[in-house]
Amino acid sequence: MPLKYSTKLFAGALAFALVVGITSSAYSQESFLPEWIKTIAGFWSSNQISDEEFVGALQYLVKEGILVIPEQSQIEPPPEKTDLDIQDDFLDPTSKCSGTAGCIPGYVTENIDGDTLKIYGKSIRLVLVDAPEIGDSGYEEARDFIAENCPVGSFAIVDEDDFQQEGSHDRMLGVVHCNGVNLNDAILDAGLADLYSKFCSSSEFKKSKWARNHGC
């Protein structure tokens, strides 16, 4: 069996097992499959992220105990909630989001530059932020700023722009919250990127305090 097919089969089986495990658990009556898990599965099913990235994401969630697949013969009650902020964020990422578009928690898998990073392999563009392109003055400083404040492996939440859900060049547009920092605001505050002012009128965040402070 080709490696690609085997990975695809395993990813599908694991996804099915997760859904069955969650919905058949003893505590499923008071919980549901979060929308962000469905969103990540949607990225995979539409080939926006690879089989390997999807499998890795699911395996990580299982390993960390965020998703639990109970034994068929013995379903145990859920573990008690911890006081860790990251656990709370996973349980209710919407507390960091506004509007009605995507609200996606996940782990950073790659830092691209000063206004783009990847979460579970999905490219995210910091909305209303225009950082230097590769080869331009300030590119490395902007890239390093994002990498330092939200390094690979960090937990982050993407608040997708309601008014720009079509994205940009296969990148989701939104505000990224990482390690307690609004990255969009932070890199503008640091003077390492410019406000992408021509898109203020077409952004959900044009009236946000951070966007107004920088010129929207």
Residue-wise pLDDT tens digits, 31-57 = 445 566 667 777 777 777 777 777 777
Q: Which amino acid is at 139?
A: Y
CB 43 within 8 Å of CB 120: yes
Q: For residue 151, what pLDDT is reported?
A: 94
Q: Which of 109, 102, 103 is nearest to 155 (CA)?
A: 109
Q: Which of 123, 209, 191, 199 is nearest to 158 (CA)?
A: 123
C-alpha span between 205 and 9 (Å, rounded)? 40
Q: Is 62's pLDDT higher than 60?
A: yes
Q: Are strands 122-126 and 172-178 parallel, antiparallel or unpaired?
A: parallel
| pLDDT band at residue 98 using 50, 70 and 90 as cut-offs | confident
| pLDDT band at residue 67 using 50, 70 and 90 as cut-offs | low
Of these ranges, 29-33, 55-59, 64-68, 194-198, the one predicted with the greatest mean pLDDT is: 194-198
C-alpha span between 18 and 3 (Å, rounded)? 22
Of these ranges, 28-42, 79-93, 140-154, the one predicted with the greatest mean pLDDT is: 140-154
Place of tokens 């003077």: 191
- Provide the whole-model pTM: 0.63
Residue 212 CB neighbour total at 10 angstroms:
12
CB 157 within 8 Å of CB 93: yes
Q: For residue 184, what pLDDT is reported?
A: 97
Q: For residue 72, what pLDDT is reported?
A: 44
Q: Structure tokens of 10? A: 């395993």
Q: Which of 68, 64, 108 is nearest to 87 (CA)?
A: 64
| pLDDT band at residue 138 using 50, 70 and 90 as cut-offs | very high
Greater confidence (212 vs 83) lies with: 212
Across the chain, mean pLDDT equals 76
CB 123 within 8 Å of CB 87: no
Q: For residue 38, what pLDDT is reported?
A: 67
